Amino acid sequence: MIRIGHGYDVHRLVEGRKLILGGVEIEHETGLLGHSDADVLLHAISDSLLGAAALGDIGKLFPDNDQKYKDADSLVLLRKVGATLAAAGYRIANIDATVIAQAPKLSPHIRLMRTNIARVLGIDVSQVSVKATTEEGLGFSGEKLGIAAHSVCLIETVNSK
């Protein structure tokens, strides 16, 4: 059986924070605000995976009022999401994600993001697609107030025999 999942996340851009996307620290004048490292891409991917398995969302798994997750590395959280799915009898077929950011230019970092995501999920980089786009200066992403990310994925049940 195959199942589809969708995830969406937004974080605000502020001065004095690191910009981390897909586990890659990117040089930029602003960074994403959040309780964890605010890796909006990994959060959207995590939510799509949990959604596909109907296992809730990362807010439920890793509550933002829990000090344990302050400045948490979202790659570590994503690894836990992958382990949660595996324990529930699922494997990941593929992930396709889009980051919506006016700046900085993300294309030089996409390959490393895909590699990071594939590594913590124990899948091949060919199963992970990351794309980046802008909203042509429109809305909160266009005005560089925040960055959004969407993710869809397919997971399949692992045959026990």
Tell me the closest approach of the beta carbon of residue 1 to Zn ion, in angstroms. 29
Question: Cβ closer to Zn ion: 102 or 151?
Answer: 151
Task: Give ∠ CA 145-69-126 in degrees, rounded to 5.
Answer: 70
- For 81-99, give one letter per residue: b (16+ CB within 10 A) or e: bbebbeeeebebeebbbbb
Residue nearest to Zn ion (CB): 43
Binding mask 18-47 for Zn ion (x = CB under 5 A): -------------------------x----
**DSSP structure class, residue 12:** E
Which of residues 5, 7, 9, 48 is near Zn ion by CB under 5 A? 9
| Closer residue to Zn ion, CB minimum distance, 89 or 141 | 141
How many whole angstroms separate alpha carbon 100 and alpha carbon 17? 19
Residue 8, token pair as written in the block: 């969406």
150 near Zn ion (CB under 5 A): no
The conformation of residue 57, written as its DSSP 8-state character, comes to -
Shortest distance in whole angstroms from residue 64 CB to Zn ion? 9
Binding site for Zn ion (CB under 5 A): 9, 43
